[in-house]
Structure 1
Amino acid sequence: MLINPLSGSVGPRAVVEAETILADYGCEASVVALEGGQFDEQISAALEAKPDVLFVLAGDGTAGTIASRAGPEGPLVAPLPGGTMNMLPKALYGTGDWKLALRRALEEGAQQPVAGGEVTDGDFTQSFYCAAIFGSPALWAPAREAMRTGKIKLAFAHARRALRRAFSGRLRFSLDGRKERRAEALVLISPMISRAMEENTGLEAAAMNPSDAMEAFRLAAHAVMDDWRQDPAVTTRSTQRVAIVARSRIPAVIDGEPTQLHHKAKVRFIREAFRALAPIPPAAEDAV
């Protein structure tokens, strides 16, 4: 188990607390505190040890990096909620409490293939397992998270900031080599998160196309308050490969991590990005 004590919601006692929980289950486990400047070496050592499962209690970016390095041939990975947004851990374990997530993984966990996407922008490559947002409304993601935690004023401050940048430059995108289209923003959603995708056949692509400031405001309100995909200014479909072009740098949020891409980027769907140890979703259990 790899722990970053300095990560958002982890805390200085996490190593001791994790060891106590693991002892309750009679696991043969090694708990390692990640140290600044040694992350790569410690992660490599953990993967080279070939454990049955690698628990990760760290920020969203670190957990995603470890999952990517493990890949479908590596050990099972259990990314526990130790970051700020915790999109992937919440999707897998249904909680933002890392101790509860750890117990759920140990008691109810089964091998689950996790699909995702990979964003490439020149030398930059980053995987995602929940969602990637491209365009000025990428800043709505922090607004929605603030709303979920009860920080209403902060949520609308983020929404206003996104609206100020709206219409500053639309994206052009192509899905699976089809005709290029324009949109204010493009959201790519993994099958694990998507309400529209029932199987691991591709990413759900949702294009946002508000025609004026009033529609943009309504769409921003949907983004903060409920499911914005129900808005008439949003169209969705399945895709496996995406090309994105803009006149200037593209603001993006990739699994909760904000970044700036160059004016061109590509995204590809990965059917099995890594294998997680997590409870089987009810829908999957019914299918079995």
Structure 2
Amino acid sequence: MRVEVVTNIASGSVGREAPAQAEAILAEHGVTGRVHAPGEGELTACLRDALDSRPDALLVVAGDGTARAAAEMAGPDGPMIAPLPGGTMNMLPHALYGAIPWPEAMANCLKSGQERMISGGEINGRLFFVAAILGSPALWAEAREAARAGRADLALLRARRAMRRAFSSRLRYVLDGRPKGKTEALSLLCPLVSADLHADEQALEAAALDPAGALDIFRLGVNTVTGNWRNDPSVIVGRCRIGKVWAGGRIPAILDGEPVRLDDAVAIRFRPKAFRALVPAP
């Protein structure tokens, strides 16, 4: 096996010692590979160069946005991708490897790695492999990002904006040709993480979350903690292969933990073959 390893030393829990750690793990397992530590502004080009060298696998030690970008660049016909946990939330790495440190996940992949085809979702050309949230609740992620950057003033400003937007701009949606609906937020879960979908299910789990006020929000919060949110009366759950969502302005969203702004009308579709993951054998 020949691998490329990209370490984003500026990300979350990676650190400047990561390249040396990665080289030591490669040597320990007798794997030929190059380790990259791109500088500021060089990450995307480094991922592209690594993929263009046609390795057997690309191992990425970085945050959620970089993990999603690498998987999206590779696609179903590119090299296997190992998105190792190096960020804050690590949604895709934890879904594939569990909540373990990246050196352990990397060693496991090199010791007994095998291919696993991962499905996902697509919203106006943007892919996600774990979950997407559309609607005003996604604005809280923008406040979180400002806080992570040390901008307390901006985080407070965005938190206030999220509070103002709550219940003020509902989404309209159509899923798989069913009747139109209105909702405060629409959540889409991939088979990789949904407790209600089989791993090979050819659809996304769609949940329209439409609390009418503070009491409904409190009850939904309790049900989410207890794992009973699918049975909450303010939630409508179903399957989705294709769909449309629109609103009165640009739609705030979270794709695999990363906040984005979408157009005021978007198309959703299920992608049965999104990318090839390198995972340890069971």
- TM class by smaller structure: 0.7 to 0.9
TM-score normalised by L of structure 1? 0.84
CA–CA distance in structure 2, aligned partners of residues 230 and 163 of structure 1: 26
Report matched runs for 1:1-288 at 5 Å: 1-120=5-124, 125-139=125-139, 165-198=165-198, 199-223=200-224, 226=227, 228-279=229-280
Structure 2 unaligned regions, length at least 5: 145-157
Partner SS state of residue 96, structure 2 = helix
> Which residue number in structure 2 is paired with residue 152 of structure 1?
none
Count residues with an aligned counterpart: 264
Partner SS state of residue 64, structure 1 = helix
Structure 1 unaligned regions, length at least 5: 145-157, 282-288
Identity %: 48
CA contact (8 A) 2:142 2:259 kept: no
CA–CA distance in structure 2, aligned partners of residues 233 and 142 of structure 1: 25
1:106 alignment partner AA: L
Q: Structure 2 vs 1, CA of residues 219 and 142 (structure 1 numbering), >3 Å: closer, same or farther?
A: farther
CA contact (8 A) 1:140 1:224 kept: no
CA–CA distance in structure 2, aligned partners of residues 162 and 235 of structure 1: 23
Q: Structure 2 vs 1, CA of residues 92 and 227 (structure 1 numbering), >3 Å: closer, same or farther?
A: farther
CA contact (8 A) 1:92 1:279 kept: no
Partner SS state of residue 268, structure 1 = strand
Q: Structure 2 vs 1, CA of residues 166 and 221 (structure 1 numbering), >3 Å: closer, same or farther?
A: farther
Partner SS state of residue 194, structure 1 = coil
- Aligned Cα root-mean-square deviation (Å): 2.4
Partner SS state of residue 260, structure 2 = strand
Q: Structure 2 vs 1, CA of residues 196 and 226 (structure 1 numbering), >3 Å: closer, same or farther?
A: closer
